[in-house]
Amino acid sequence: MTAPSATADKLIEMVRAALAPHGLFVRGALNFSSAEAAPLLSDGRRAASVLLVGNIGGSLWPAFSAWRDGLPDRGGADPLDTWSKAVIGPIAEACGATAYFPSDPPWQPFQQWAMRAEGLKASPLGILIHPRYGLWHGYRGALGLEMALSDTGERMEAHPCDRCLEKPCISACPANALADERFDVGLCRGHLRNEAGRAGCLATGCLSRDACPVGDAYRYPLEQLRFHMAALEL
């Protein structure tokens, strides 16, 4: 029983080393039971497990920015998705894994995977909140494997939003897009198109996201904040 575990541990370390120059991390792992409709591997079999890959704070921004700045078209319409595939795809192939991406059909349940792997829950903004990183993290892809893996995620014991009585993320929203703790993307986008929204959230980042006190040390750099807000405005 030790050989498969040793092989799995070696594979995870190989993936971590390959991701590191790009500012990406193994964010967690989960195994599928035989009763689950696990995602398909490239050979048509069901995956036994997935490794989640993502950023912590602005970790990916230097590598992504350098890649985008070196392209005539700045990476096209969806540069972050294109970059993620260019980085994670070859790593998956080298490991004999199948790469999955949030932007590609068939749509995989990335949020559900993250909740299971790291024990996360959604914040009022809809973004999964981490006890250390707060709202400043993301998932850029996943690797489907034919072997079961040891659990590499850090499961939170308590949800930060459950302990937050003041809910500053809700009161800080200038568009009132978080009424009833539900994110209304239409109200948000409408606000970003007016003068106040362009001078506020679009220029400096989402005021609601910034108001959350959890994980402040991992706040995205200004250029990354503007990048994500510009994508939301579309």
Q: Which of 140, 175, 158, 176 is nearest to 214 (CA)?
A: 158
Residue 73 one-letter amino acid: D
Tell me the CA distances in angstroms from 94 to 91, 98, 131, 165, one per residue in order.
5, 10, 33, 47
pLDDT at 3 over 50: no
What are 38's two structure tokens? Answer: 């696990």
Per-residue pLDDT band at 8 (split at 50, 70, 90)? confident
User: What number of other Cβ atoms are within 10 A of residue 223's Cβ?
Assistant: 10
Distance CA 77, CA 61 (A): 17
Residue 195 one-letter amino acid: E
**pLDDT tens digit string along 9-27?**
899 999 999 999 999 999 9
pLDDT at 152 over 90: no
Q: Which of 18, 20, 51, 229 is nearest to 146 (CA)?
A: 51
DSSP code for 181: G
**pLDDT tens digit string along 202-214?**
999 999 999 999 9
Comparing 99-103, 120-124, 156-160, the range with the smallest average pLDDT is: 156-160
168 within 8 A of 203, measured Cβ to Cβ: no
Distance CA 210, CA 172 (A): 9
Query: For 68-77, what is the mean pLDDT?
Result: 93
User: What number of other Cβ atoms are within 10 A of residue 81's Cβ?
Assistant: 17
Distance CA 212, CA 24 (A): 23
Query: Torsion over CA of 231, 183, 170 and 161, rounded to 10 degrees?
Result: -100
